[in-house]
Amino acid sequence: MLMPRDLDSARHDLIELEARWAPRGVEIGADITSRGGGWLHLSRIVVNKRLRGEGVGTLAMSELVDLADHHDLSMSLSPATDFGGTSVERLRRFYRRFGFVSNKGRRKDYTVSASMHRKQSR
């Protein structure tokens, strides 16, 4: 279980990551909770339309995954087309490349309501 100081450090790193990517055309919305051993929940990652297809989203997502791994956090998200994605299935394929799985069946984690999750890398 993460200690409050560890959570503060993870939150600080997340805020810095979000601030680093904003001027590069990537809006990241995420939060960190201590529930279930520590989770980084990604509510949105929006790449500026003129930058899509250039690998910018992949780079930003790689940094998010690295941050979660560094702080021993699991991750959760629910792909949706609300922020410009062309299809939910395409987004699911994108997130699977980073180790996310559907939150159902044998992989169901009842501590999160998101439709996909990625467990701590420990």
4 pLDDT higher than 60: no
Distance separating alpha carbons of residues 49 and 62, to the nearest angstrom: 19
pLDDT of residue 85: 67
Domain of 58, CATH number, reads 3.40.630.30
Residue type, 117: H
pLDDT of residue 117: 97
Residue 41 bridge partners (DSSP): 31, 76
If you ran DSSP here, which 8-state letter would residue 94 be given?
H
Q: How many domains does the structure of the chain reveal?
A: 1
Categorize the per-residue pLDDT at 81 as very low, low, confident or very high, splitting at 50, 70 and 90: confident
Share of the chain above pLDDT 70, in %: 92
CA-based angle 84:89:94, to the nearest 5? 75
CA dihedral of residues 115, 11, 73, 35 (deg, nearest 10): -70
The residue range of the domain holding 24 is 4-118
Distance separating alpha carbons of residues 71 and 97, to the nearest angstrom: 20
Instruction: Give tens-digit pLDDT for 24-80.
Output: 999 999 999 988 889 999 999 999 999 988 999 999 999 999 999 999 999 999 998
Mean pLDDT of 105-117: 92
CA-based angle 104:1:18, to the nearest 5? 75
